[in-house]
Structure 1
Amino acid sequence: MTATTYRSHLEQPFKTVGLGVHVSVLRRHGGQDDGMTMVFRMDKGAQAPHHSHPGGEETYLVSGKLRVGSRVLLPGDYLWTEPGEVHDGFAEEDSLFFVVLPGGVQLTEGDHEIRPAIRTK
């Protein structure tokens, strides 16, 4: 028996987790760490609340322009966020990015929802 996971692009439904923020969970790591591998789509102007990751976070920007904390990511950029580092996210353009969360996510106190997208023409 194999533990290989394959998911066709046709079998990756996105769930809206806030206005302008959509996620497709590709794999749950199992165990007690709540780890996940995901793909995010954020509409231009969407903002994710301040949060941290007990096991760190790996982010690879596929398309768009994304601000994570004070860093601005462009397509092809990779970011490793240390465990416990608090940051937010803001889509300066429609963005698609791949994320690995070995220990899941923790929202910062008082920041319990994804903020609405702010559209500009």
Structure 2
Amino acid sequence: MSTTTYRSHLEQPFKTVGQGVHVSVLRRHGGQGEGMTMVFRMEKGSHAPLHSHPGGEETYLLSGKLRVGSRVLLPGDYLWTEPGEVHDGFAEEDSLFFVVLPGGIQITE
């Protein structure tokens, strides 16, 4: 039995989860923690509220300029956020980024 997951770019619909914030869930990890692998699009000026990740967060910025907490990410930047670290996100430019959340997300705001 194969566990390989393939999803064509044509099969990756984005869902609006906040004003100017759109997400496409590529894979749900299942099991404990409800982890996910996703792609986010944030429009310039949009804001993701304060939140944390029980299993940490991996972010890779593909395009744009994104502030995560006090850090500013540019295309090609990678950010690992420790489990439980509370932060927000702000798109200083239209931004596209890849995110892996081993333990899901908890909104704190």
Q: State the TM-score, normalizing by the size of structure 2.
A: 0.99
- What CA distance in whole angstroms lies between the structure 1 residues aligned with 2:89 and 2:82? 15
Tell me, yes or no, if structure 1 residue 11 matches structure 2 residue 1. no
Larger Rg, first or second structure (1 or 2): 1
Q: Deviations over 1:18-62 (max 9, x none)?
A: 110000000000102110000000000000000000000000000
Q: Where does residue 21 of structure 2 map in the other structure?
A: 21
Amino acid at match of 2:82: E
Unaligned runs of 5+ in 1: 112-121
* Segments ≥4 residues shifted beyond 2 Å: none
Higher strand share: 2
SS in 2 for 1:3: coil
Q: State the TM-score, normalizing by the size of structure 1.
A: 0.89
- What CA distance in whole angstroms lies between the structure 2 residues aligned with 1:84 and 1:33? 13
Unaligned runs of 5+ in 2: none
Q: Where does residue 107 of structure 2 map in the other structure?
A: 107
- What number of residue pairs does the alignment pair up? 109
Q: Where does residue 30 of structure 1 map in the other structure?
A: 30
SS in 1 for 2:103: coil
Work out the percentage of aligned pairs sharing the same amino acid.
88
